[in-house]
Structure 1
């Protein structure tokens, strides 16, 4: 029992602990999903800001391109170093510087004119090469966005945004080259976000911008794995990374940001400590429960088991006198009452055994009486033969056969064949009295001869037919006995029919009211006893039916189940 209690307590503990862990994991999973969705929402907003910054820059270049002074210079009809030429260049320089000041992340803005074969940049009015990056040839609607190679390790990430310079007829006359420093742009957008990683790469996986914490060695080791990642949301051990497609004028990039999960390591450690403390407390509760169970349940149970062992050996004075809790005292009182009842039952069994022995002695004595009766009848039979009266000998022989069937111990059931033999013996006896006044007719199905029926169930019907049907009619009587099997319903039909005086409806009512007493005065068993015997042997599904009409006779039908002798 102690092991069972420990098993139950531990099972409950494991179940409770599993539930706590399950719900904690579910809560952490929900928190993780929520933090992932929040990071994606922030990422969507920042991507939109980057796209808007480049769109505004593209609109500014279109506005500069449509300016009258820029259009005048792009035509190439102005005389070089003329007053108009110098005035237009100064205005163009002023315009570029003015527009550049609107974008903090633009470090240089250049304009190249194919007709004049020179570049105008915000860093100087002289013709200088704005970048060391090869510029592509553009058509009127083309845009180009290329990374600028770093000269030194301290240099930040810069890209060159190139757009065509067209005249009023949309003919390309030159190009704009804008140097965009991504560091101030990203700082302005992501500066207030606690990110672990912020990087941008092109469609070939080349980094256009990347910022990693110097102490984040784990993330640096994973950097190559993140480069080719295209899944929208990826989970690390302590962080989550979001990847978004960044569609800009002239290029398609991929932006990736990484942030810590909401479920911090400290929280996980605190949860582990709390879970460990809970398990320790649970073990203490288990130990205390075992002690309480041992003191209040195991000891009284062991004491009661010892008393039961004594009672099993025959000591019915092993009463419960131990003082314990109310429940155990009630159980002990019930045990004491059981001992008293057992002792009383044993005394009663002994008395019944004594009475049984006396009854067996009386039965042995009573068995001598039928034996004496058989011997006496056999003596009468031999005396009748000696005096040459064979009828008396035949009647005595039939009577002995009937007595052996009614007083013998062959069992409660006999076959139909044996029942018919008993009917023959009974008719032999009645023929001695009535002579040729009674004629018998038999219609026995050969298949029914092996069926079992209650012993001497037809003889009372035959006796009632003679005494109450044929004898009062004072004429020759005919008794027909029919036995057949209804295979479809598995029934044995036994029918006894006579041509006696019959019964009227009033006689039937009187017989029913008096329980058949009037008509059973000669038969001894009677119809009521046959009905009772059928009910006791077979149940309510089988019965006896009687049909009788005045001056036409009586028919009695028994409906019994088909049973065969298993030994046969």
Structure 2
């Protein structure tokens, strides 16, 4: 069983193929490039952040060592140690500080704070409640144990430098501040007795300067060995919130961290993946716009290229359809020098050869038939037939048999028209006369059951027509349209669109739709496609009208031939179309 496949134009296939070849590799390469670029940026960002954290850790270690030396300064100043011993315990009369003591302490503390912008204040806490500081106007002169719980942690280290997590500075007069501090216990050299505590409060800006050099897209956090946040400080400002440390870190961040063995401080850097991908997205968007423009240009070029490629094939296809309909005069134009051009040249050669063979076969058959007719004519002496018919006519007239006389006269006219006249083209009036003679003979044979009405317009008599193209319609009507009623055949002519139109219509049995379709198929089937299955000596039937059509088509080309008028309801009607030819034109 044969299935009809959906038709897809060749140009559409070329366009789809080219678009796929352009788009698919672009999408694949774009996705791979974007992912690889993002991965490389992440790796570079992590590597860069690790280097920055390493440098910050080194800077912090250096700074802590510097603070370690700074907080050791009281040990080298005997005057300061003496003052601390004097204020070791609280006196009953209160904490009295002489001007000399205050001057010495302020001198020492101020010398430590010189050119230290990161230091907010340097404070020395005496155990009698006295507080010495380089900030005379913003720091209290005394302190209370209940507001300074951090002292317990400092005293437990027994003189080692301690990094204190953010805690409230209750000794500031203007407001309570959250401070990060470095502190140690001041001890007596020989007895190791605790004399007080020296404490350095750092500013957040100062810490920021120490951390300077980090990536602008990263967040830095400092935590001590107990995982307490040292930076950023929470002073009620809009400081960034600290994410959860360790493996539970949000996947939207890339984490890099390092803990100092010397200070125990861990530096953690967090980079938002969205910030990293933003650059990749910007590059991708820029590349995407350029790629879209390039793809559009490529699509347009593909459409133009496919059109140029398919146009010769479409041209060849159109010519092949015309040849398929029997027009062997068609030739395809060769426009390319590639395989399509070679195919077109081969097509032209093939059609020329087919046209030559068809003409040879057709003309050979015509010559064969003419030879057979000439042979037949040569076997019969026309004058003998004419004399015989004249004798029959005279005998019928003597006996007053007018009907027999008419038959003999009409038969003579038929013989003279078919045997003696060798012309291929005759006047329309001569063809009409032949039809009248043939009709009268048939009417006599059928007992006046046949009536032929001829209506030829004035001026059409001398138009040239092929010989013997009307008689087959009278014969066809007698053969197929005759009923018990009288059959009337009307033959009319008219001029339409510079063509002679001859209409032959009868009021006989008519044709059903199925019969009409079968007759049309038989008439319009090319002679070379029709297989002659007659047995030897068998009379050929049903070919008269078909021969008339193909004679006109082969003589005059497209638009000429035999056509069936399907609008007739009673009987049948046939239309002949042929060009207007006069005697001079037909001879030419």
TM-score range, shorter chain: 0.3 to 0.5
| TM norm structure 1 | 0.46
| TM norm structure 2 | 0.45
